[in-house]
Amino acid sequence: MSLKSLVLCSDEKIVRVLRRVLSDLDIGIEHCSDPDGAIRKLTRQRFEAIIIDCTDLKTASSVLKSARSAPCNKRAIAVAIMDGHSGLRSAFDMGAHFVLYKPLITERAKSSFRAARALMKRERRRNTRVAIQVPVTLNNAATGFRQTMVTTDLSEGGIAVQLPKKQKDPGPWQVSFTLPGSEKVIEVTGEAAWQNPGGQVGIRFTNLEVDVAHDLRLWLNQNSPESEKDDPPVRCKLTDLSLGGCYLEIASPFPPRTNIVLSMRAGHHELRVEGVVRVMHPDAGMGVEFTKATVEQRNHVEKFIHTLMNAGDLLPELLVEPEGLDASKLETRASSTAASEIEDPLLELFRHKSSLPAEQFLNELRKQRTTHHPDTAEETILPV
């Protein structure tokens, strides 16, 4: 199934650029020149992206609101095409994820749409279920329930199993199973998400570690009946790193509230962490807050920081890939005791100065680097 976009724009020059760019990225176009026609299509068809010329901000906002009220397009990626004098904040307030400025330049537009396409694919695929029958063990230490049964399907977020009709254990369970072609046992916590009269239960994974999620996603990508696979991870440059987050230089940054997985390598030291984009500067970079506030992850990040500080001219290798648009992980982290006890200047900058124009924000980031004390990992560091 190809990706589909709806374009609301009456400027033929812009439409021509979009057709050329989106065609190169294998994204189909449904073009509308009037808002009423766009709204009719949005209520009847599913689109992975909604691209709107925001010459009239009120009309554009109304169309996006209509799209969000339609279940089939509630999670579509929104791209706003703005006049140069319009602020980035007004586009984000309207509900846009990406912003393109007039006049539209082909290469710049293509760069932004590469990031948008990666998110479009992730949003469509993350709930895709693959039919699979493998043994799975459910264990509830609190009730003494333990039983092995067979799965009926699998997704990135959970599995479905057939429970014996006499078993009414409510969970949560420790869930363990092995994917076909692998010897590695996957162990996660799961809770019941739904149950039908026939005894089939959908189990939602509740503590999927980043490495386990990575393995699961790779297997699903290889075994999904859908021919279209996720885009490969994108290379980026690390400029600032603390125990709680980092700033990345990247030509096509992801929008705020995007869940991402960041893979970092320096020498023999490798680290994979989950994060949420807190700050995004088009064509420049993005600030990411890590979403796991565990002592174990803090120790891993601290070791990586010290590796960089002692590495001399060694440049870290970084890859970033989106997981979808969802801020629930960020909200979980923000309420954690471990996170609130630690002073982190980089996170404070993300939280309190994210609305600054890009040039001013990056200037604040540079100022912060000069205050770094080399003996403390809580401060932001500049590895390159």
Q: Which fold has domain 3-125?
A: Rossmann fold (3.40.50)
304 vs 110, 297, 331, 344, CA distance in Å?
A: 34, 11, 25, 17
Which residue type is seen at 148? T
- Report CA 112 to chain centroid distance, whole Å: 15
Residue 293: what pLDDT? 65
User: Cα(64)–Cα(71) distance, rounded to whole angstroms?
Assistant: 13
Check whether 331 has a pLDDT greater than 70.
no
CATH number 3.40.50.450 given to 234-370: no
Q: Is-above-0.85 flag for pTM?
A: no
Q: Which stretch, 154-168, 172-186, 316-330, has highest mean pLDDT?
A: 172-186
Superfamily for 130-223? predicted glycosyltransferase like domains (2.40.10.220)
Tell me whether the CATH fold assigned to 130-223 matches the one assigned to 234-370. Answer: yes
189 vs 138, 141, 172, 203, 334, CA distance in Å?
A: 9, 12, 7, 9, 22
Q: Count Cβ atoms within 10 A of the Cβ of residue 215 and give its class: 0-12 exposed, 13-18 middle, 19 or more buried.
A: middle
Residue range 211-269, pLDDT digits in tens: 888 788 888 877 876 656 778 899 999 999 998 999 999 988 999 999 999 999 988 88
Tokens in use for 340?
């609130």
- Report CA 103 to chain centroid distance, whole Å: 29
Domain residue spans of the chain: 3-125, 130-223, 234-370
Which stretches does DSSP call E strand in 13-120? 27-32, 49-53, 77-82, 98-101
